[in-house]
Amino acid sequence: MKILDGKQVRQADAYTIAQEPISPLALMERAAHAFVHWYINQFVQTRPVAIFCGQGNNGGDGLAIARILSQRSYSIQVYLVAHTSNPSDDYRANLDRLQGHHRPILLSSEADIPELSDQVIIIDALLGSGLNRPADGLLAVTIDKINHCDNKKVAVDIASGLFMDRLNAPSDAIVKPDYTVSFQFPKLPFLLPHSAAYAGEWHVVDIGLAKDFIAHCDTPYELTDYESAERLKKPRAKYAHKGTFGHALIIAGSYGKVGAAVLAAKACLRAGVGLLTLHIPKCAYEIVQVSVPEAMASIDVKKKINTLLPELQGYTAVGIGPGLGQHTGTLQMLQQLLSLATCPLVIDADALNLLSENKELFGLIPRKSILTPHPKEFERLAGPGRSDLDRLHKGREFAQKHGVIICLKGAHTAVIDDCGRVYFNTTGNPGMATGGTGDVLTGVITALLAQGYSPVAAARLGVYAHGQAGDAAIKKTGMAGLTASDVAEHLRLD
């Protein structure tokens, strides 16, 4: 699913209106019905509804929603905030249509803002994607009051006061909804940590904007959702054999961090690799053979760390990093790997930290290698970002400059390809914020690369499947009880 900017959404709107054709008012009605369809599946009729409307098209949506809900026997009360001398045509038309059904209350000062009983659900239709400056005056006061109520809150399209395409200042008045029902597309701030509180649980509803326009719309931002992940998957052929699914090499582990190698190995096997060899220090030999008997072991000359690069011939993908440590001998091995590798690599954890300490090695990274930094590791690689958006821009620059794919890990991990396109992940949960889940991800992506997935597909599908495994696992363990081993065990690639 694509993520469009404000200008592109307006173009999609205009194109649909001209090509379908449909009047803007009928399109607004369709959007309001889509919202109501979601709403009635969520909230029962016995909960009264307070709908706060501005005077743009978002307010127009709010008025149409109020009318439709009242026709469905919901008890509604509309509150209007007058903030412009030039209300939109469709706002006016919907105000007319509401007459005879309901009498809105005009808020003219703070004193008019009502105290609401806890049962009331608030629908926020003050401002939408047409926001062109931070909310102030009575709008800001109303937003503040709404935020101070404990009532459930649902934003229409986008929380009032939240910019779609640029950063808000920390002092801006923005509704903090429990839910956002977004029309046709998700919006960029829903995917970034700093604005998560202004999205709540977000849902996208289809309002029938022209599919051909959307298909041709050029945007750097997309989601990896269920449909796109399914499209990326390759079926396993009936007469396939273990040679069909590649041979992965994972270079991982050091004394005290052998578990990282074990986790990556288990995940690699669950993600469908044909053969797996783990390169490990001597101290890890027995541990690995006992805990992952399916994997072959390549043993380093050193007892506690990896220093000697194995022969690379025969491997279809190489992952390096989990639990590796940052010793000089290991750095030399990494440098050798970067110079000799003929296939893209998966580079994680301490391998990334070694690169950050030795930035002159960046030029050696094979093209289309996949780097999987968490925010701190990314900061070490590319320097600090002033904001999440800035970090995303830095990620896009870094990926294009060095010809690599970056998985910027987090709640909505961003897979950034070497052209600067960003694919936000939609699976996973906060239970996964626990040691070792990153090692599992390295194993999954290495397995997919080894099986012949393109690097971008391996990164997108790997990140998606990893989150999906975390979601499946918490059904048994709960969030707090989730361990990285549970994530590895719940991986399912088909």
Ligand X SMILES: NC(=O)C1=CN([C@@H]2O[C@H](COP(=O)(O)OP(=O)(O)OC[C@H]3O[C@@H](n4cnc5c(N)ncnc54)[C@H](O)[C@@H]3O)[C@@H](O)[C@H]2O)[C@@H](O)CC1
Residue 448 contacts residue 462 (beta carbons within 8 Å): yes
144 assigned binding-site residue: no
Residue whose token pair is 């005056």: 137
For residue 331, give the H/E element and its range.
Answer: helix 328-340
323 assigned binding-site residue: yes
Q: Which of 384, 430, 478, 481 binds ligand ADP (CB under 6 A)?
A: 430
Compute the least distance from the CB of residue 405 to ligand ADP, in Å. 15
Q: x-or-dash pattern for K ion, window 58-97, by CB under 5 A?
A: x---------------------------------------
Q: Which of 200, 436, 443, 462 binds ligand ADP (CB under 6 A)?
A: 436
Q: x-or-dash pattern for ligand X, window 131-160, by CB under 6 A?
A: xxxxx---x----------------xxx--
Compute the least distance from the CB of residue 57 to ligand X, in Å. 3
Compute the least distance from the CB of residue 193 to ligand X, in Å. 23
437 binds, among ligand ADP, ligand X, K ion, none (CB under 5 to 8 A by kind): ligand ADP
Q: How many residues bind ligand ADP (CB under 6 A)?
A: 18
Q: Which residues between 39 and 68 bind ligand X (CB under 6 A)?
A: 54, 56-61
Q: Which of 411, 420, 454, 489 binds ligand ADP (CB under 6 A)?
A: 411
Compute the least distance from the CB of residue 181 to ligand ADP, in Å. 22
Compute the least distance from the CB of residue 99 to ligand X, in Å. 19
| CB of 189 or CB of 428, closer to ligand ADP | 428
Instruction: Tell me which residue of 167, 153, 160, 187 sits closest to 59, measured CA to CA.
Output: 160
184 binds, among ligand X, ligand ADP, K ion, none (CB under 5 to 8 A by kind): ligand X
Q: Which of 116, 155, 223, 407 binds K ion (CB under 5 A)?
A: 155
Strands 414-416 and 405-408: antiparallel
Q: Which residues between 323 and 352 bind ligand ADP (CB under 6 A)?
A: 349
Q: Which stretch binds K ion (CB under 5 A): 153-161, 222-230, 283-291, 446-454?
A: 153-161
Q: Which of 55, 70, 160, 451 binds K ion (CB under 5 A)?
A: 160
| CB of 59 or CB of 319, closer to ligand ADP | 319
Q: Which stretch binds ligand ADP (CB under 6 A): 4-12, 75-83, 165-173, 438-446?
A: 438-446
Q: What is the C-alpha to C-alpha distance for residues 265 and 293, in angstroms, rounded to an integer?
A: 10
Say how many C-beta atoms besides its own lie within 10 A of residue 430's C-beta.
12
- Residue 179 sits in the site that holds ligand X (CB under 6 A): no
Amino acid letter for position 261: A
Residue 153 contacts residue 179 (beta carbons within 8 Å): yes
- Residue 437 sits in the site that holds ligand ADP (CB under 6 A): yes
Q: Which of 127, 352, 407, 450 binds ligand X (CB under 6 A)?
A: 127
Q: Which of 152, 187, 374, 394 binds ligand ADP (CB under 6 A)?
A: 374
Classify 79 as helix, strand or coil.
strand
Instruction: Tell me which residue of 112, 198, 99, 115 sits closest to 158, measured CA to CA.
Output: 198
Integer Rg of the chain from CA: 26
Question: Residue 243: CB partners within 8 Å, gap ≥ 6?
Answer: 274, 275
Q: Going edge to edge, which strands form the sheet with 422-425?
A: 2-3, 221-224, 422-425, 414-416, 405-408, 370-371, 345-347, 317-320, 247-251, 275-280, 296-299
Question: Residue 270: CB partners within 8 Å, gap ≥ 6?
Answer: 443, 444, 447, 488, 489, 491, 493
Q: What is the C-alpha to C-alpha distance for residues 59 and 89, in angstroms, rounded to an integer?
A: 11
Q: How many residues bind K ion (CB under 5 A)?
A: 5
Q: x-or-dash pattern for ligand ADP, window 347-366, by CB under 6 A?
A: --x-----------------
CA distances for 56 relative to 91, 93, 326, 334, angstroms: 6, 11, 57, 57
DSSP assignment letter at 188: G
Count of alpha carbons within 13 angstroms of residue 432, beta-carbon side: 27
| CB of 30 or CB of 394, closer to ligand ADP | 394
Amino acid letter for position 429: N
411 assigned binding-site residue: yes
Classify 179 as helix, strand or coil.
strand
Characterize 148-172 residue by residue with b for buried, 16 or more Cβ atoms within 10 angstroms of its Cβ, and e for exposed: ebeebbbbbbbbbbbbbbebbeeeb
Chain contacts with ligand X (rule: CB under 6 A): 9, 13, 27-28, 31, 54, 56-61, 83-84, 86, 88, 127-135, 139, 156-158, 183-184, 207, 209
Write out the binding residues for K(+). 58, 124, 160
Chain contacts with ligand ADP (rule: CB under 6 A): 349, 374, 409-411, 413, 428-430, 432-433, 435-439, 441, 466
